[in-house]
Amino acid sequence: MKKQITIGVVRETAAGERRVALDPETVARLTAADHDVLIEFGAGEEARFPDSAYQQASASLATRSEIIDQCDVLAVVHAPGADTIALLRAGQFLIGLLDPLNDPVLVAALTQTGVTAAAFELLPRTLSRAQSMDALSSQASAAGYKAAVVAADSFGRYLPMMITASGTARPANLIVIGTGVAGLQAIATSRRLGAVVTGYDVRPASRGEVESLGARFLTSSIAEGAAAGGYARALSPEEHELQQTELARELVTFDIIITTAKVPGRTPPLLVSAETLTALKPGSVCVDLAASDLGGNVSGSVDRKTVVTAGGVSIIGAGDLAAELPTSASAMYARNIHALLESFTTDNQLQVDLTNDIHTAVLICHNGEVVNAQLHARRLEESLNA
């Protein structure tokens, strides 16, 4: 007898991706609720979840084609490739970090297949009842933690003050730019490692959170930098120039810079210029959590690569650093999947309600049509700028 909902998970194929959409613990919760879960062979290996762990959680192992053929819901970390999307059919439900604001080709392909697709990037982070679904925050937390660890590993000196028989080593002076979820976790972890930490944000309201972690707070003289949805807004050219000038004067005093400033669906702001990099001390480290194909916060950063400048400054492009903490990041992400899936489940069946504010926010397409207001606004903006 067929279970209520069949949920499929395939192995991630993006370069450097080690996470998996569901961990065995969450699978056990889903199967206990009388759902079928199909896991592609080896899907959890990189996250240290062997096939046997999924079998113990009552999941079934299957090939990719079998999963796509049988599942009602396909849970992914990143959008699957074009070959996989071509196999999807109308009525199936796709959930993941699909990056629809930056990938109109994907949006068109998903709409054409007739699938219902939901993207975590579109979730309104200010809704308290959506917090358990907030995959951007859960993955940012993992990335922020890992950024501090990566910085410590790449820095050639101690982070904490060390008093030894051979003398005293001064603590590293570290700044985190952008104090959202990733930034606050980077601050907290860097403090635990013993660095002297400063948090920088254009949103003055961030001061209390930064100082509660024992760090110094630094901001700009420009106007309030918060936007709807809890993100930092994009600055005007004049504001950005003033911010750059003020920030550059401060950055030359730091040994380590961690940048986290992303603007959803937009090119990230350049915060550490080439000129500033030349003024940093040899051995300084920059970890750029905003690095992507669209650019980064640090001049010259390349995602997934470390670049060392002529002046001896290491620039670490780390746009998806949560993938380097795959076990914990996958476990948190799986809970986000479970929570979002529950919001679409009524009487153990999938139901889309276009009067539900969470549904209308996260859905990209449904019944062969784009139903998302943000995507419609982006299309209009692009057409006006064409």
**From 29, 125, 192, 233, active-site residue:** 125
Q: Is 70 a catalytic residue?
A: no
Residue 255 among the catalytic residues: no
Q: CA 92, 95, 96: angle at the middle one, nearest 5?
A: 145
Residue among 288, 259, 256, 282 at smallest CA distance from 190: 256
| Cα dihedral 57→58→64→66 (10° resolution) | -170
Dihedral Cα 375, 261, 243, 150, nearest 10 deg: -160
Which residues lie below 8 Å from residue 284, measured CB to CB, with a gap of 6+? 254, 255, 256, 257, 312, 313, 314
The number of beta carbons lying within 10 Å of the beta carbon of residue 341 is 21
**Annotated active-site residue in 23, 92, 137, 301:** 137
| Helix, strand, coil tally for the chain in percent (to 5) | 40, 20, 40
Of the listed 231, 288, 330, 343, which one is catalytic? 231
Greatest alpha-carbon pair distance for the chain in Å reads: 72
Catalytic site includes residue 351: no
Q: Tell me, yes or no, if 335 is annotated catalytic.
A: no
Cα distances (angstroms) measured from residue 189 to each of 39, 131, 323: 34, 22, 18
- 3-class SS at 75? strand
> How far is C-alpha 126 from the chain's CA centre?
17
How far is 357 from 376, CA to CA, in rounded Å? Answer: 16
| The one catalytic residue among 55, 70, 131, 132 | 131
Q: CA-CA distance, 237 to 243, in Å (whole number)?
A: 10
Q: Is 333 helix (H, G, I), strand (E, B) or coil?
A: helix
Secondary structure (3-state) at 163: strand
Catalytic: which of 23, 134, 201, 288? 134
- Residue 56: active-site member: no
Active site residues: 125, 131, 134, 137, 231
